[in-house]
A and B are shown apart, each in its own frame.
Chain A
Amino acid sequence: MSAAAPLLEVRDLKVHFPVKHGVLGAARGWVKAVDGVSFDLAAGETLGLVGESGCGKTTLARALARLVKPTEGSIRLEGEDMGQWSGAQLRARRRKWQMIFQDPYNSLDPRMTVGHIIGEALEIHRLASTARERQTRTKELLESVGLDGAQAAFYPHEFSGGQRQRIGIARALAVDPKLIICDEPVSALDVSVQAQIINLLQDLQQERGVAYLFVAHDLAVVERISRRVMVMYLGKVVELGQAAAVVRTPRHPYTQALVSAVPEMDEPSQRPRIVLSGEMPSPIDPPPGCPFHPRCPVAEARCKVEIPKLREIIPGHWAACHLA
């Protein structure tokens, strides 16, 4: 770890949800959606988070945005423990992070003009003292995401999917955050528009030094935008390293399977194709030992009993596998 405190320090974070019987029933089990996740995120960095549905990546993103309460563990933002904040402290710091979502349409109020949506963020955080100042800021924000300032008077339904995602980004930028949590921000967009949004996010990072936690299931998109990539499986981090290293020389058998499953445009390569059998088990009743062992092509006897720890295989490249 470097001398300066990272923007975000997550330690042994757990988010468990009770599984209940009936309306008043007692918990009969726990969904361990996030189960002991630790990582750092530096200011201005992009950390990609990949994994399949049910791996806990969205729950982790929501816990970091304080939309769900962690069960255990700590999240420190600029060195301060989020869990210790009082209501007033939380409100004062809330603008340090923002979130953008997969479906920009569902995250924009259909009855508000775009100018109103962005202006509201400025108003709540007292970032513009007069109505005129608010209008000027809104116009600047729209222009910074490639929209026309005059479009502030329009409603969300008057925009295309890509333009709506630009509005979502402008709203997030309005409060000048240090961190933007992006939950599948380009998954619903067409390829040509997806490229526009990825480029826009990269440009904005260069201009403003904002950090991204970029959650997506598309490995190629994540590799393109991230400096480092973290892979989750069944609530746990199974691999973490530089983006190029994770994609080109994955150390965990799950990451290897994930990489090999991406269909390629080019000639079929010599790279062995790994088609995993079965699906991810339920997080209510995870398998003993390594959570991946029932689907793992190289699992050994100890994988069935001993939980592998995330360890540094080579400097900067971590994997949770006994055999890595």
Chain B
Amino acid sequence: MAKSLGNYPRLSRRGNRTFPSLLEIRNLQLEFRSEEQSVRAVDGVSLAIGQGETLGLVGESGSGKSVTALSIGRLLRTPPAFYAGGEILLEGRDVLKASNRELQELRGRVVSYIFQEPGASLNPVMRVGAQIKESLTLHRPQAATDAEVVRLLKLVGMPAPETRAKSYPHEMSGGMQQRVMMAMALAAEPKLLVADEPTTALDVTIQAQILALLKEARQRLGMSLLLITHNLGIVGQMADRVAVMYAGQIVETAPARELLRRPLHPYTRALMNAAPRLGGAGGRLANIPGSVPRPGAMPSGCRFHPRCAMARPDCSVNKPELAAVENGRQVRCPYWNCP
């Protein structure tokens, strides 16, 4: 029988390799508070990323995956955000207790970010070379040179890097802007790169280029990667392990290959069946009825039960725990093993 997880393991595994933990989130509780109400966006999330490991964090809009990721560098404004509980250990130090000075040291050197809309993250009135140099000045002042800027632009596959360093963001395509964002993030030589839907706004051939680049940078720099995506195909290409979130909670974690081969949670199964596959069979897609619940209006019992094809009467009453079920796998459903 499955047993509830008291302590999250300190080591994470990939195949038969183990990685010392770089990031460990334990029982994170995140709320958004206003005068009228308090809404819990993240409810008891625990996850770990080892050195050099890639974790795919999957979920639909409103699942809490982006705010969980933003919490690692404490990038959410407080208020309205409020950390109601839990720890975020980055290299063993709790980010939630860090002083502003300590945060400055963690941001960039330990954790860097790239986002979905590179155009919205770049300064429109500053040449991209200067923006990369600014990142160098902040995090690796001894390397803040034009030559290093060009080296970084080359690293991210920018054609004609010397000329491109003098361009403004609006003179570039989305794919080029995302390369600049990557150069800025890599300038700090982070140990963990958080990539939040980094290719969602890009065309598929450009997406393939950026994913190849991320793989190469990860290998060359021995970096860990937290890759947030709604695309299970990208998880299959990139991730060692995967965590699936639904309505503020993790519902399943597993080694990526095993999850894609045999998803255990009814939500993961439904999500995989709902995504059309290239060259797949025709006919109707298996859709999930209804929509993702809004934070503040969570269903009783299991949060997925109103949309679950396998729900039983007690699913609307009992709140399932995330339980270890097999080698390296956890599922938040007591009936995962039932036909």
Query: What is A's interface to B at a CB cutoff of 8 Å?
Result: 52-53, 160, 162-163, 190-196, 198-199, 202, 217-221, 223-224, 244, 247-248, 257-268, 273, 275-279
Contact = CB atoms under 8 A, between A and B. Distances in A.
Contact of B277 (A190, A220, A278): A220
Given A192-B60, A264-B277, 9 more contacts: A192-B271, A194-B274, A195-B276, A195-B288, A199-B284, A217-B203, A218-B204, A262-B278, A263-B207
Contacts of A268: 237
B60 A190 contact: yes
In the complex, the 7 A-B pairs of residues with the closest C-beta atoms, listed nearest first: A263-B233, A192-B288, A195-B287, A52-B203, A190-B60, A195-B274, A261-B208
A278 B175 CA distance: 10
Interface in B145-162: 159
Contacts of A262: 204, 233, 278
Contacts of A260: 208
A220 B307 CA distance: 24
B250 to A, nearest CB: 18
Given A263-B211, A264-B237, A279-B206, A191 B278 contact: no
B244 to A, nearest CB: 12
A257 B203 CA distance: 12
A216 B278 CA distance: 14
B234 A263 contact: yes
Contacts of B285: 195, 198-199, 224
Interface string B288-306: 1101100000000000000
Determine chain A's interface SS by DSSP, over half rule: helix
Contacts of A53: 174, 203
Nearest to B281: A224
A206 to B, nearest CB: 11
B274 A192 contact: yes
A257 B205 contact: yes
B27 interface: no
Contacts of A278: 159
Contacts of B212: 275
A223 B236 contact: no
B276 A223 contact: yes
Contact of A261 (B207, B282, B291): B207
B38 interface: no
A129 B128 CA distance: 61
14 contacts: A190-B60, A190-B61, A191-B275, A192-B60, A195-B276, A195-B286, A196-B289, A199-B284, A219-B278, A257-B205, A261-B208, A263-B208, A263-B234, A267-B257
A95 to B, nearest CB: 29
Contact of B205 (A193, A247, A258, A264): A258
A24 B294 CA distance: 51
Contacts of B176: 279
Contacts of B287: 192-193, 195-196, 199
A188 to B, nearest CB: 10
A257 B274 CA distance: 25
B279 interface: yes
